């Protein structure tokens, strides 16, 4: 277990004045952390003042940049050897935060994995289930919770990937896949969540579309051949079957079959190039 005195607890917060003081106080009561760092993401409700009054060190953005930008600011500003990220809305129990921290040392990244029934809405549960299934396929290992905001990792490893992190809400997705791709030790610790205070900053239509685009980007960055090869193989097989059927029925090779075969080859070659680019991203890690 990592010594809590070497752990920086990080809380990205945007307009969480109603609860941030209680969150900071509860975390301070359970362990002698190296620091509790709150990144105020341009709040307009006194979040920074409430966090400071509760004993946290506060770094403030002059305007709202997004959850991912707050996490990047925290990673750069943290002074501990380990960085433990938790939400500022009161969802995560202090006991679960301590459980996640207790597995640091053996593991380079520990993710607080929520059970499906503890996630907010049916739509979000369905979406996360799809993401977890896809991520498990891409990484070839079970991933019970790809999007959990409760996670802890070595700061030096987080710095390796900070340039890949988006400014929006998919930072957990990117860090999880990056650590697995890089071969670091990753564990998932079961946790429970409580009802959040206030309203969620995630909007289904706006952030759902952005998240889908970022997920596509993640696929092409980390495991492109896991997507491109099956697509190429299916297209190639379809072209062969269509071509043979047309030859038998009409004694000619159809243009559609030729196009399908050419498309399959192009997809495969694009996958190879993407795989090489993906590998180069990790060769120069610090």
The answer on 160 and 259 residing in a single domain is no
The answer on 80 and 35 residing in a single domain is yes
The answer on 233 and 150 residing in a single domain is no
The answer on 248 and 198 residing in a single domain is no
- Residue where a domain stops, chosen among 222, 243, 271: 222
Residue 196: what pLDDT? 56
Give residue 151's Cα distance to chain centre.
Answer: 10
In which domain, by residue range, is 66 found? 4-222
The answer on 142 and 22 residing in a single domain is yes
Domain of 156, CATH number, reads: 3.90.550.10
Q: Where are the alpha helices (DSSP H) in the chain?
A: 20-30, 47-53, 67-77, 94-102, 122-139, 155-161, 171-181, 204-222, 225-250, 255-283
The answer on 243 and 212 residing in a single domain is no
Give the count of beta carbons closer than 10 Å to the beta carbon of residue 79: 12
Residue 71: what pLDDT? 94
Query: How far is the C-alpha of 240 from the C-alpha of 238, rounded, in Å?
Result: 5
Residue 118: what pLDDT? 55
Q: What is the pLDDT along the chain (286 residues), one digit of tens a residue?
A: 789 999 999 999 999 999 999 999 999 999 999 999 999 999 999 999 999 999 999 999 999 998 899 999 999 999 999 999 998 888 889 999 999 999 999 999 999 998 766 555 566 677 777 778 888 888 888 889 888 889 999 999 999 988 888 887 678 888 898 898 888 999 999 998 876 555 555 454 455 566 666 667 667 667 788 889 999 999 999 999 999 999 998 888 899 999 999 999 999 999 888 888 777 766 655 5
The answer on 255 and 200 residing in a single domain is no
Total domains in the fold of the chain: 2
DSSP 8-state symbol, 142: -
């Amino acid at each position: 277990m990592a010594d809590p005195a070497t752990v920086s607890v990080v809380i990205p917060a945007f307009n969480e004045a109603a609860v941030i003081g209680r969150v900071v106080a509860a975390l301070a009561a359970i362990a002698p952390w190296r620091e509790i760092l709150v990144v105020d993401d341009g709040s307009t409700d006194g979040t920074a003042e409430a966090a400071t009054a509760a004993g946290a060190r506060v770094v403030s953005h002059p305007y709202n940049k997004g959850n991912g930008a707050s996490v990047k600011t925290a990673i750069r500003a943290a002074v501990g050897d380990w960085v433990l990220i938790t939400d500022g809305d009161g969802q995560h129990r202090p006991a679960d935060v301590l459980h996640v921290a207790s597995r640091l040392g053996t593991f380079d990244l520990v993710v607080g994995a929520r059970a499906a029934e503890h996630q907010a809405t049916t739509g979000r549960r369905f979406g996360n289930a799809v993401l977890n299934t896809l991520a498990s396929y891409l990484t070839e290992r079970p991933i019970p919770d790809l999007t959990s905001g409760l996670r802890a990792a070595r700061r030096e490893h987080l710095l390796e990937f900070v340039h890949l992190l988006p400014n929006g809400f998919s930072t957990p997705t990117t860090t999880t896949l990056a650590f697995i791709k890089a071969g670091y030790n990753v564990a998932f610790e079961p946790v429970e969540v409580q009802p959040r205070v206030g309203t969620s900053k995630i909007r289904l239509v706006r952030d759902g579309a952005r998240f889908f685009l970022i997920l596509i980007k993640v696929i092409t960055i980390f495991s492109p051949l896991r997507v491109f090869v099956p697509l190429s193989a299916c297209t190639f097989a379809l072209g062969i079957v269509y071509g043979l059927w047309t030859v038998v029925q009409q004694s000619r090779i159809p243009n559609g079959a030729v196009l399908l075969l050419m498309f399959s080859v192009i997809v495969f070659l694009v996958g190879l190039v993407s795989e090489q680019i993906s590998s180069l991203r990790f060769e120069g890690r610090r």
